[in-house]
Amino acid sequence: MRILHIGEYVVGGMATYINEVVGYQQQYFDVYLLMSEHNSATDFELDSSHILYYKYKRHPKYFLSAMRQIHKIIEKVQPDIIHIHSSFAGLLARGLFFVRPRKAIVFYCSHGWAFLMDTKPVYKKGYLLIEKLMELKTDVVVNISRYELEQSLHLGLSTSKSKLVYNGVRERNNVIPISESSEAPNIIKLLFVGRYDRQKGLDIVLNLFKENPEIKQHIHLYVIGDNVLEDNTWEFPENVTRLGWVNNADIDRYYQQCDAVIMPSRWEGFGLVAIEAMNNHKPVIGSNRGALPELIQHGVNGYIFDIEHSHKLLDILKNLNRAELVKMGEAGYGIYKEKFSAARMNEELVGLYYEAVTGASASENLVKSRLEYSKRAGDAHD
């Protein structure tokens, strides 16, 4: 079976997710990845000949050109399944099928519904109408959290097409030793990972630091990321260290060197950073938006706060205790093992692929795929 994954800006959490998926699926299938050559990562677990690009920037004047390029790649690859990631890629790729014949089965994952964003009501209605229209050219809609699934069904998306597959990340086998810190022992090290966009809420934390300068005696914030969708210019106080984007292969070292991870998101379809933190035995301080309350149990593996009341976050930060954070980190690792492993995510996706192709149950066809892979591996060895 041949799988073509299509993304738009494949960077940050999206790149982490897709790398997990294609790295696993190439064991079973002939896998290709197509994405924008602008604002996309380059390090994926695929042969370079299977990593394809189209010329594109997020502006309407590029849409038709991008659609033509995507069409040419589809015609060349001739996939059995097209798996589309993110709203704009979903519009570009599925929009083709209103004017071109569709031969492949189409999977679609928004990785965060645009109609659930914190934006103007008229925009939300527009995004919802577009998704309902594009759903006509979609066979399976993958939701990455129960919150996303329930909200989309409530707003009228197809019950029969909608599936829930929680995101997952692979467990790291090599434990990287934590280096000695040069900071005072009473300083709590927080880590933020994400885009400098309004969605991710970094400005909420920076403003809190600015309004409460005494907090620098207790907290130091390390920031991984940069501008992607928006060109924001913010003032970074002296207790914040900017690290830029970090290679996915190295990011665990930064998780392991912090005391906790902070996610002040205004909306979040899932929150991959949270499970990366949990995988590294770190608690998460997250907002009460989107799917984050599904991942973070307040007082168990982190803290949940309301971003509309900044004093709540301030109280949490002022009272952080390293010993409590260590206990929460261990609890989070247990939750990760139970619910958010890459193995569980990938097996569920592969099962859905076979179910869509054959009509048989996902679990039955997953067993079949494993037997086929074992036979191929044995033949290659011989």
Domain ranges of the chain: 2-170+341-381, 188-339
Structure tokens at 29: 């299938």
Measured distance CA(287)–CA(294) in Å, rounded = 11
Task: Name the token pair of 343.
Answer: 């193995």
Structure confidence at residue 196 (pLDDT): 86
pLDDT of the residue at 381: 44
Joined tokens for residue 133: 């229209």
Element (H, E) at 82: strand 81-85
- CATH of the structural domain 2-170+341-381, one choice from 2.60.40.420, 3.30.70.20, 3.40.50.2000, 2.60.120.1310: 3.40.50.2000
* Distance between first and last Cα of the chain: 23
Strand order in the sheet with 260-263: 240-244, 219-224, 188-193, 260-263, 284-287, 302-305
| 316/213 Cα distance (integer angstroms) | 16
Per-residue model confidence (pLDDT) at position 52: 96
Longest CA pairwise span in the chain (Å): 68
Predicted pLDDT of residue 336: 94
Helix axes 362-381, 342-358, angle to 10 degrees: 100
Confidence (pLDDT) at 175 = 52
Are the C-beta atoms of 8 and 36 separated by less than 8 Å?
yes
Return per-residue pLDDT of the chain as tens, 382 residues. 999 999 999 987 788 899 999 999 999 999 999 999 998 888 898 999 999 999 999 999 999 999 999 999 999 999 999 999 999 999 999 999 999 999 999 999 999 999 998 889 999 999 999 999 999 999 999 999 999 999 999 999 999 999 999 999 888 766 554 454 555 668 999 999 988 888 899 999 999 999 998 888 899 999 998 876 666 677 888 899 999 888 777 888 899 999 999 999 998 888 889 999 999 999 999 999 989 999 999 999 999 999 888 889 999 999 999 999 999 999 999 999 999 999 999 999 999 999 999 986 555 555 555 555 445 445 544 4
pLDDT at residue number 372: 54
Burial (CB < 10 A; 0-12, 13-18, 19+), residue 217, is exposed
The H or E element spanning position 76 is: helix 63-77
Count CB atoms within 10 A of the CB of residue 41: 19
The CATH architecture of the domain made up of 188-339 is: 3-Layer(aba) Sandwich (3.40)
Closest residue by Cα to residue 272 from 228, 320, 336: 336
Contact (Cβ atoms closer than 8 angstroms) between residue 107 and residue 81:
yes
Q: Which two tokens stand for residue 139?
A: 């066979």
Domains 2-170+341-381 and 188-339 share a fold: yes
261 closest CA partner among 351, 335, 194, 318: 194
